[in-house]
Structure 1
């Protein structure tokens, strides 16, 4: 018999797969040790650090780019007074802690605004060479670290001036919650800036102050570890073939204190997309570390669950043995008997009657073989026997045992998949997960608000260069600005009555300064996408406004963060303006609880997002949701917009959900086992066997013209070959009988 055909291989494979699935079930559903900290909590800290790194990287790159664009625009317009340069810069952007203009030849400070910038770090290497004018990190006398950004300005009479702007390296100013802290770490593990600890310094009890001291020590220790980890190559630090955060990120576990463990996530600053060019911030070697103490879980083995897993595996083995026994008794054994009987008849052994199986296709074939044996041997049927097929013995067929086998295996698959380890909304979601959803939503809201403020600030800076008397130059300026600022889809200058003076990009939408004085507007109801417009008055041209339409895709890209679920920006009426997934303009939120959450978030604007997270239980599903309004200043803070996020808690890496998923996986593997093995038997054995039964009965009924070809080289194929040999023998036997002359009758004289 061939090794890959017939009835034996699928039954053997069924046995092997049942044993393998039983072993897997005993392993994944058996002993279950709880981790010290749930994986979901660790992953959330990693995502939190990634969000902070993305926000810090975007902030640094935008400040560097804005300063370079401002210097380029000023140089194009000719030499400008240093005091006016700093004045215009402070009016357009409120992002630098200090600005200074100095003469490069003499080193004399020509103008200064804000925080005093030390100049001792300026030397020849900073101003010349391959890394000339590269941003530098400088520590002030107060101990704070500032990032110095530089650009060269053209002064009067060919002299050159150096524009220096300093800004802090602080993490985004958001509500981190109690005892959550974030830090910016340099190469070597030096902590450059922290956030979150100042919220705990107001605590008065000795225990709380002791806890704060412990967290500060853990921050220092984990910062060293994070800086060491981020020295890796981002490609080799990830799993082969995996995607995700472009930089190096991960999680760390610190020491425990009073039943709490310091958990941390870290992420290095990296460019969002390498194809967009290099990031200045990514080259600084900075790392963002997010730390949070969480309650330590007990790491004990659940003996009852271990026993339950072994019982499930034992039940599978028992039902599997019964299923294999059914197939062996009702399919394999009769088929092998038919193979031996048909081969005996094909060799000419017609003395012994054919052993006919009890039922099914095998019984039909056996009865047909017995009839052909009598025809070949010229033997009449025994007394009382008939060639008519007894109906009772042939009911059903080989499909019945297959169905019975499937039922036996389904008796294990269905309870395991639908009853075992079901959560049904009863799982206790850690409060940390709700807090992280709320705080990360607040971080996304802060980033989106800053992006809109930045868009309006860019327009303010560009509007100072507009000369409406030269429309050709104005359109060239708008085209250059549109090419540099990818967040816009259209730029245009409009009069107070809405007439377009100059434009670049897509078709403009209506803007009227008479009816609405707000600088950020939303329109486009009834259209495919909402239209977000920002404006800046053109100086010295009363009634004229430079308008930029922000691409909705740009806003959508700010909301796409792993581990946060679906994120949307909604207006005061809870209508969607942007989303991480597809959406319709101004569509409502999918759950009735989400608009209430948005309204509650806007009511608590003064208190921040402390209470703007909740669990939504509906049936057996649990949803974690959060909302964060636009707060913190700028033109975007007065819009009444809110970022709302929600995700199914079943996606969290919580032990109860993991066990439920493993149970479902075991059930699906069992179903796959049924489909593969029993489908194999049905296609290779049962269907050819039914066709063989019909052919054998036709042969027994006298059909000697039909030639029988084996479909597979297996037991059924061997029986088909034997039947073909028997057909040829019957054909030869009848031809011999037809050629035999009739015997003469004896004459009377011969008596």
Structure 2
């Protein structure tokens, strides 16, 4: 008989799947290994190096863009000379070591300033004449490595003839000058006590080194720079590759290092081709007690294997075997009721054995009553109401037995203690990365303020049309602004370009800096502002303050970093202004523990505060959390803003958390699969048995009209078909008996008359 369901598959699946969960428990927990240095510490150091490389890359990109923009926007006239142009282009830049103006066609030096600029090379001149983008160059000057930045100064057409006699090297086709600026490498900032950071060239030579606090002797591993440069050179086409290294061991400390290339992550950029690599290192305590969960894994797997075999045997003896015997008995009776063969008739004289309990026992007793009715030994029989547990209770008990193993696995055993779940080194790394994130936000806001100040300095003395043109040009060049506008002394907007301002505050601040210009609404409005000075002898500018509202999306985009978790920027009232995850403007932080952490980082009134970190437990488990003030100095220092991060410990590859996570997963799998298989058994066997039990009681009690329809092609369906055949045989016998009795009644009067 084809079996499309039946009692066997659920029971076999229950045993097989629970044994599989037991095997996965052993494999999963035995796969947790804790070396002398946790993998989470190595991963964090790699990410710190990548974050530091990002800061260096951003600084180089910003400087290269500034040099190009300054040169491009320089208002050269027909009387401008290279000397005056070079002085105007570089006088306000304090970081410049040397500068020069070149004729890109001939390479002739037109003007110089500061220290001598190293030769640029013929390829730079070719790129300048072809109007190609010129990336910064890493050169050696005076025994030190320096960066060259390039920009094009556009000349008016009439200047060619005016300056031709003075500069014979310039041809009549000259249209530009090439500005070359020589600067040192960007300042390298290190976060985290005891950590050192260095910028390396492609050969592993340190170009700049910095440290915070007192570095451990173990951190002074001279082989790390060479190893980092070799790893970076072997990364192939991956221009933003990063990795981690293990250094020397000194006593109970071992050096952990991270390296990352200073290159663009989104395609060709200004830092590509420089071959710079950032190396960070820090000495961390060595773990002397390895994590070993093998014994627990074997015990848990053995307990689950025992549970699965116990349930399998119980279901086999209490459900499967009695049901199969009932199936055979019902088939025997149906053949005896419908066939005239002697072997089939013999089956009616064999009593129906009653096996099991509950529904199967009731059906067995009813079948025995039907057998006697088929033989004419008895009539319809009424059964008492069912009492005692049925097979539904057996399924519930099975679920409870599985739950006795699974619930402790989910909620009790191998629970990671919040205080020890996250190692101290991981918390320190989370704090350092939070400080790096705050530094990125500060750099972005400071650059926005610097750019806006330059624009504000060029507004006085311009006509309204010229001011509008300048603001539109600025908005097109600086994508971080969503709106630029001028405020008069009463707070009214006199000139605007870009989107509709989100500003709701009407006060006109003094000085310049960064501020928020609304306190409610759907989008937080962060703005840079700068004063527009009056011009002597002329009327005041159209407005007194220039505001540039910063697109919050631009701020949100710099917050996410790999393995940093969720990041928020909060104001002085601990309300969210920007985040790497979904948020509502000016909402509170999602956890009260994070709010307390921010308050701990605020410090005394009037101070910027200090970064802090802690291991907190949320609804999702332990997490590494940190908060850092946005800035210690500069235009954003007085804001009182903070950057807050939280990374679930489950994502940090900490052995204790991995054990908790995999133990919970084993418990959830065991409970889910056990419940699913027992539910499957209830659907295909127990529930149909309960329905058949009701019908067979009626049939044994004399109901010959209710047709029994088999639903499934399994044992229960076969029993139902056999009962239907028995019902038809009993109904036919009853009809025959009624027709014979009616015939006897119709013949009785005639027989009486004949006898007289």
Shorter-chain TM range is: 0.7 to 0.9
Tell me the distance in 2 between the aligned counterparts of 1:701 and 1:670.
44
Alpha-carbon offset, residue 490 of structure 1: 0.2
What is aligned with 1:220? 226
8 Å Cα contact 2:117-2:182 kept in structure 1:
no
What is aligned with 2:433? 440
Alpha carbons of 1:300 and 1:677: their partners in 2 closer, same or farther (altered >3 Å)? same
What is aligned with 1:244? none
1:281-292 equivalences under 5 Å are 281-282=271-272, 284-292=274-282
Residue-by-residue CA offset, 1:211-242 (whole Å, 9 max, x unaligned): 45x423323323322331x22547xxxxxxxx
Alpha-carbon offset, residue 339 of structure 1: 0.5
Tell me the distance in 2 between the aligned counterparts of 1:127 and 1:334.
93
- Residue 409 (1) aligns with residue 409 (2): no
Alpha carbons of 1:364 and 1:42: their partners in 2 closer, same or farther (altered >3 Å)? same
Structure 2: gaps of 5 or more residues: 161-173, 337-346
Partner of residue 283 from structure 2, selected from 293, 299, 312: 293
Once the two structures are overlaid, the 10-residue window that deviates more, 547-556 or 456-465, is 456-465
What is aligned with 2:270? 280
8 Å Cα contact 2:522-2:585 kept in structure 1:
yes
Alpha-carbon offset, residue 199 of structure 1: 6.0
1:122-201 equivalences under 5 Å are 122-124=121-123, 126-128=125-127, 132-155=132-155, 156-157=159-160, 158=174, 160-170=176-186, 172-178=188-194, 180-187=195-202, 189-191=203-205, 193-197=207-211
Residue-by-residue CA offset, 1:372-430 (whole Å, 9 max, x unaligned): 2222221227xxxx8232446x5322111111111111111112222211124242632
Partner of residue 263 from structure 1, selected from 250, 256, 264: 256
Tell me the distance in 2 between the aligned counterparts of 1:79 and 1:574.
55
Tell me the distance in 2 between the aligned counterparts of 1:41 and 1:198.
18
Structure 1: gaps of 5 or more residues: 235-246
Residue-by-residue CA offset, 1:55-105 (whole Å, 9 max, x unaligned): 222222222222222333226887755556555555776665544333445
Partner of residue 379 from structure 1, selected from 377, 380, 391: 377
What is aligned with 2:319? 331
What is aligned with 1:240? none
SS class of match (1:347): helix
Tell me the distance in 1 between the aligned counterparts of 2:208 and 2:605.
28
Tell me the distance in 1 between the aligned counterparts of 2:251 and 2:222.
16
- Residue 360 (1) aligns with residue 358 (2): yes
Tell me the distance in 2 between the aligned counterparts of 1:43 and 1:723.
69
Alpha-carbon offset, residue 131 of structure 1: 9.3
8 Å Cα contact 2:139-2:148 kept in structure 1:
no
Alpha carbons of 1:520 and 1:427: their partners in 2 closer, same or farther (altered >3 Å)? closer
Once the two structures are overlaid, the 10-residue window that deviates more, 334-343 or 557-566, is 557-566
What is aligned with 2:301? 313
SS class of match (1:309): helix
SS class of match (1:567): strand
Residue-by-residue CA offset, 1:694-734 (whole Å, 9 max, x unaligned): 22222223333333332221111111121222222223222
Alpha-carbon offset, residue 311 of structure 1: 1.8
Alpha-carbon offset, residue 683 of structure 1: 1.2
What is aligned with 2:733? 733
Tell me the distance in 2 between the aligned counterparts of 1:379 and 1:92.
119
Tell me the distance in 2 between the aligned counterparts of 1:552 and 1:617.
30
8 Å Cα contact 1:92-1:460 kept in structure 2:
no
8 Å Cα contact 2:421-2:657 kept in structure 1:
no
What is aligned with 1:600? 603
Alpha-carbon offset, residue 171 of structure 1: 6.2
Tell me the distance in 1 between the aligned counterparts of 2:452 and 2:77.
17
- Residue 120 (1) aligns with residue 107 (2): no
What is aligned with 1:576? 576
Alpha carbons of 1:250 and 1:731: their partners in 2 closer, same or farther (altered >3 Å)? farther
- Residue 459 (1) aligns with residue 464 (2): no
8 Å Cα contact 2:597-2:613 kept in structure 1:
no
8 Å Cα contact 1:185-1:227 kept in structure 2:
no
Alpha carbons of 1:730 and 1:604: their partners in 2 closer, same or farther (altered >3 Å)? same
* Largest Rg, 1 or 2: 2
Tell me the distance in 2 between the aligned counterparts of 1:546 and 1:49.
38
8 Å Cα contact 1:569-1:579 kept in structure 2:
yes
Tell me the distance in 1 between the aligned counterparts of 2:145 and 2:175.
31
8 Å Cα contact 2:480-2:551 kept in structure 1:
yes
8 Å Cα contact 2:40-2:652 kept in structure 1:
yes
Once the two structures are overlaid, the 10-residue window that deviates more, 89-98 or 117-126, is 89-98
Alpha carbons of 1:378 and 1:87: their partners in 2 closer, same or farther (altered >3 Å)? farther
- Residue 553 (1) aligns with residue 553 (2): yes
Tell me the distance in 2 between the aligned counterparts of 1:81 and 1:109.
13
Tell me the distance in 2 between the aligned counterparts of 1:500 and 1:300.
66
8 Å Cα contact 2:485-2:494 kept in structure 1:
yes
Tell me the distance in 1 between the aligned counterparts of 2:533 and 2:85.
15
What is aligned with 1:526? 520
What is aligned with 1:5? 5
Alpha-carbon offset, residue 44 of structure 1: 0.8
SS class of match (1:559): coil
8 Å Cα contact 2:711-2:717 kept in structure 1:
yes
What is aligned with 1:239? none
Tell me the distance in 1 between the aligned counterparts of 2:364 and 2:416.
54
Tell me the distance in 2 between the aligned counterparts of 1:424 and 1:457.
47
1:447-596 equivalences under 5 Å are 447-463=440-456, 465-466=458-459, 469-508=462-501, 509=503, 515-538=509-532, 541=535, 542=540, 544-589=544-589, 590-591=592-593, 592-596=595-599
SS class of match (2:100): strand
SS class of match (2:221): helix
Alpha carbons of 1:300 and 1:517: their partners in 2 closer, same or farther (altered >3 Å)? closer
SS class of match (1:479): helix
Alpha carbons of 1:678 and 1:468: their partners in 2 closer, same or farther (altered >3 Å)? farther
Tell me the distance in 2 between the aligned counterparts of 1:167 and 1:127.
22
TM-score norm. by structure 1 comes to 0.85
Alpha carbons of 1:714 and 1:131: their partners in 2 closer, same or farther (altered >3 Å)? farther
Tell me the distance in 2 between the aligned counterparts of 1:601 and 1:443.
22
Tell me the distance in 1 between the aligned counterparts of 2:524 and 2:78.
40
Alpha-carbon offset, residue 617 of structure 1: 7.1
1:703-714 equivalences under 5 Å are 703-714=703-714
